[in-house]
Structure 1
Amino acid sequence: MRGGETEFTLKNYKKFFESLYPQLCVFGYKYLDDLDMSKDMVQEVFIKVWEDKITFKSENHAVGFFYKAVKNKCINYLKSKSYKVTERYELKNLEAYETEEFYVSDAVVIETTAVIENAIKKLPDKAAKVIRLSIEDYSNNEIADELSISINTVKDHKKVAYRKLRNLLGFLTVK
């Protein structure tokens, strides 16, 4: 291991796995349209990295590596003979999947969604419920009915949530 590289211990590798696994499964699903297969692919990538004792320059480098490895694993599976034999429908347009634009746009959406979800989890329970319903396009009246609270309470929860989310997610704004 060279100086400055990150080597995973079992404890921090498990933590890294738990934090990245859901996003990588969703990412793999975009390619495979099969959640179980996507989970298998992600697990295989994590196992391979652990067995090969791969080290990374930083955690960000590791995250990028895992996204790229899952993408490649999924594309290789789609190109494989077993996939072509077992699937009854025509093979998807792999050329589109192999483009950097497809990879980057999906990775950014999934990572951003995870960051926002983690921020919402840090909100007080009622405020988090109000924000989730608001994201699902519920009106203030519908939220009030759903949660059996007044419209003014809905507005108060939104105000608190937006203020906290701005603080938690301020780093996402483009300057």
Structure 2
Amino acid sequence: MSGDRKDFTHREYKSYFEGLYPQLCVFAYKYLSDLDTSKDIVQDVFIKVWESKTVFENETHATGFFYKAVKNKCLNYLKSKTYRVTECYELAKLEAYDTEEFYMSEAVVIETTVVIENAINGLPEKAAQVIRLSIKDFTNNEIAEQLSISINTVKDHKKVAYHKLRKILGFLKMR
């Protein structure tokens, strides 16, 4: 994404929207617990940013801006009279949502999830299936049964997947 608004085409903005939209919806959902409202809020933010012709220094600046804008729009929605009348309004919960710690932890979890999902998508198909089932706490026996493969094949797929994921995701290790 370019810092010069003249270089920022509709196609580039659409591509950026498609890449960031799913994780922003998940982020909004953490605040609202309503997927439809979350989607509406994220779409509204993207529309307003496009219409206002907001200029960004770089992609990192833009991503941070969108997370903050979605957070603020969610908090405004939760504070709105409409929400308070129609939903169970918990002031203590809203105050917890309005902290920098909540915002940062949720943003980091979502961004990390996207990185991990992209890494799993880069695995061979069967290895990716095995890892996804393993993440869901399936045993090797259950995975073998589910995928109609032997337990040794499950173990082989895991070995290959873990090796590749360690290389791809090594930068996520806490130091």
TM-score (norm: length of structure 2): 0.92
Q: 2:89 aligned with 1:90, yes or no? A: yes
Structure with the higher helix share, 1 or 2: 2
Residue 76 of structure 1 corresponds to: 76
Contact persistence 2:26–2:110 (CA under 8 A) = yes
Contact persistence 1:23–1:114 (CA under 8 A) = yes
Cα separation, 1, equivalents of 2:15 and 2:4:
14
Cα separation, 2, equivalents of 1:29 and 1:65:
18
Gap regions ≥5 residues in structure 1:
none
Cα separation, 2, equivalents of 1:78 and 1:120:
35
Cα separation, 2, equivalents of 1:6 and 1:167:
36
Contact persistence 1:6–1:59 (CA under 8 A) = no
Q: Please state whether the residue corresponding to 2:90 is helix, strand or coil.
A: coil
Gap regions ≥5 residues in structure 2:
none
| Equivalences for residues 91-110 of structure 1 within 5 A | 91-92=90-91, 93-110=93-110
Residue identity matched to 2:19: S
Residue 60 of structure 2 corresponds to: 60
Residue 136 of structure 2 corresponds to: 136
Contact persistence 1:6–1:58 (CA under 8 A) = no
Cα separation, 2, equivalents of 1:166 and 1:6:
37
| Equivalences for residues 3-22 of structure 1 within 5 A | 5=3, 7=5, 8-22=8-22
Residue 34 of structure 1 corresponds to: 34
Residue identity matched to 2:11: K
- 1:24-61 per-residue CA deviation (whole Å, 9 max, x = no partner) reads 00110111111100000000000011011111111111
TM-score (norm: length of structure 1): 0.92
Residue identity matched to 1:91: E
**Aligned-pair RMSD on alpha carbons?**
1.4
Cα separation, 1, equivalents of 2:41 and 2:60:
21
Residue 116 of structure 2 corresponds to: 116
What's the % identity of the aligned pairs?
71
Mean CA deviation greater in 138-147 or 124-133 = 138-147
Residue identity matched to 1:49: V
TM-fit CA distance, 1:84? 1.6
May I ask how many residue pairs the two structures share in their alignment? 171
Which consecutive segments of 4 or more residues in structure 1 shift more than 6 A? none
